[in-house]
Structures are given as C-alpha cells and as structure tokens.
Amino acid sequence: MTLQSSSRGSAALGNERSLAQRRQRAAFWFLAPMLIMLFCVAAWPLLRSIYFSFTDTTLSNLYGGHWIGFDNYLSMRKLSSGRILWRGALVDPNWWNAVWNTVQFAVVSVLLETIIGLAIALILNMEFRGRGLVRAAILVPWAIPTIVSARMWGWMLNDQYGIINDIFLHLGLISEKIAWTANLHTAMAAVIAVDVWKTTPFMALLCLAGLQMIPRDIYEAAKVDGVNPIRVFWRVTLPLVRPALMVAVIFRMLDALRMFDLVYVLTPNSDATRTMSIISRENMIDFNKFAYGSAQSTLLFAIIAIFVAAYIWLGRVNLGGEDAR
C-alpha cells in the first residue's frame, strides 16, 4: 500500500509539473506577438536612439555618423574668442532649464490632479440623483484631444480677446489684461492649469474605481461606532484606495515627464515652459543636431526610469512598514 501511495503521489506531482509547463508554454506563445510588437515599436527605436547619442549623426546623414563617445553628453567647445560654440547635454544650461521646467510641471500638476481627482471621486462615489450623468460629464475634458484643448485654452487665455482676462477684470482680480501664455511669470502656471483641467477626470476615474472596490460594510460599521468621517477617510478610505492611487499617480507622472503637445501648442518657443521633450525635438529636427537630440532623449528616458524606480521603491517601503505594524 505504501509503495502504491508513493507511486500515485509521484505520478500526481509529475502531472502537475507537466500541466504547469504546458501553461507556461501556452502563455509564452500568447504573449509572443505582443513582445515582438513592443520590441519593434519601443525597444528597437530606444536602442537606436541610445546608439545615435554616441555618434555625430545629423538628420541629413542618418547612416553616415561616426562614433564620438560621450561628446554629446559632456564635452564643451570654445572659439578662440572664448565664446562657447557647443556644449554637451549635461553641461548645457538650456538642458537643465528644461529638466527643471519638466520636473516642476510634473510634480505640481500631478499633485493637484491627485488631490482634486480624489475629491471628485469621493463625491461621485456617493448616492445622489443623476450620478450617472455627472460621471459621464466629468470625463468630457479628458476625452477632448490635447491639441484641441491647447488651442481652445490658447484663445481663452489670449490677452486681447480672451474670456479669462474679461472675467478676472470684472471680478476685480486683475487691473489690466495679462498675456498668460507669453509672460515668463505666468506661462508655467497657465500650462499647469490647462493640464489639471484636462487630466483631473482621468485621476478621478481611477480613484473612483478603487473606491468602488471598498466594501460598504466597513463604512456601515464605522458609522455604527460613531467614528468621525474625517477619521474614517484617513484610517479606512485612504489606505484601501492607495493601490489604485499609486497606479494613477505613476501613469500621470510618466505622461507629465514626457509632456510635449500641450506645451508645444500653448506656449511655443517659451524658455519658461520648454520641457525635455520640446528641447530634444528642437535639436533633432529644427537645428539638425540629431545625435545631440538623441542624447537628450536618452537622458529623458533615464530620468523617467529613475523617477519610476524611486516611486515604486518608496511605495514598497511604506507598504512594508504598514505590514510590520
């Protein structure tokens, strides 16, 4: 009996391993087309861009560039008069200005969108008449293409015939018309405001999805115990919605760090809002410095990777601390 039981157990274990192996092979073949497509449209262009960043390739001679090492990143060339002719990206003040603009835009816009989006999600999670209609209406700004939104807000923020100046003048908030997108002191604020208006519904949608997953029994128990609603939010709602909130923030941070279209249309050629994507595109296309623009694109990829890794690491550390408690 013992030998028979042992042989049956070994056979069952072998069958389980065989089934697991077949599932793994099936999963691989299902994923293979997607992996091939990702390599073609994402990995290969990225690898080519990294390669070009170490050459002197130009837009007019894409395949005739020569290997120059880290010159596009670190070198600096001066004329006999002392005037700087060319800088590598890491020693170029224009690049670091673009980095600061991008980080400033990403942090402020994502923070505002997260706070406002969570507040909207909490409201939409309540029971009230017409809730479905409100949920659909709140998505309209997000559904509008970014180019259309930028052009629309560009007209509204115009200093001559824009409605924003007219409203502020009637309310007494300003004493004269302001060129919101042309003024160096207000251009970034204008871009952030437009981005918050457009993308907050996306954050609200993801937060609402997380709120819908929280069991109602928890809130009913807290209500029976007489727990303050503010305390319920901090102790119950926020911890339970945190996974969805982390996903929403990481998605928005990735988009914000790569911001191009909104800035390109709303505030063209403005040093106050020039982002890393904008300056990289200018060097690659407008100034025929394809290799130099590739180096800036590579740095943009590295910065985004660092942000994502740091965010995920901090999230794991915090989650680990909560589990320990």
3-class DSSP state of 221 = helix
Q: Taking all residues of the chain, what is their mean pLDDT, rounded to a whole number?
A: 85
pLDDT of residue 299: 93
pLDDT at 4 over 60: no
Predicted confidence band at 2 (pLDDT cuts at 50, 70, 90)? low
According to DSSP H, which parts of 91-145 are helical? 93-124, 131-137, 140-143
Answer whether residue 323 shows pLDDT above 60: no
In three-state secondary structure terms, 89 is: helix
Cα gap 235→230, rounded to integer Å: 9
Mean pLDDT across the stretch 243-270?
Answer: 89
User: Residue 11 has what pLDDT?
Assistant: 59
The stretches of 126-285 forming alpha helices (DSSP H) are 131-137, 140-143, 146-156, 163-171, 187-212, 216-224, 229-232, 238-257, 261-266, 276-281
Q: How confident is the model at residue 193 (pLDDT cuts 50, 70, 90)?
A: very high
At 16-34, the pLDDT tens digits run 677 778 888 888 898 889 8
What is the 3-state composition of the chain as percent helix, strand, coil, each rounded to the nearest 5?
Answer: 75, 5, 25
Q: What is the pLDDT of residue 81?
A: 55
pLDDT tens, position by position, 127-181 = 878 878 888 888 889 889 999 999 999 999 998 888 999 999 999 888 889 989 9
With pLDDT > 90 as the criterion, what percentage of the chain qualifies? 34
Q: What is the mean pLDDT of residues 249-267?
A: 91
With a cut of 90, say whether residue 270 has pLDDT above it.
no
Better-predicted residue by pLDDT, 83 or 228 = 228
Instruction: Count CB atoms within 10 A of the CB of residue 308.
Output: 14
Looking at residue 325, its pLDDT comes to 44
pLDDT band at 317 (very low <50, low <70, confident <90, very high): low
Tens digits of residue pLDDT in 272-297: 999 999 999 999 988 888 999 999 99
Per-residue pLDDT of 72-87, as tens digits, reads 898 766 545 555 555 6
Quote the Cα angle for 242-34-144, to 5°: 55
CB 127: neighbour CB atoms within 10 A? 5
The predicted pLDDT at position 324 comes to 42
Question: Span 240-244, mean pLDDT?
Answer: 87
pLDDT at 6: 56
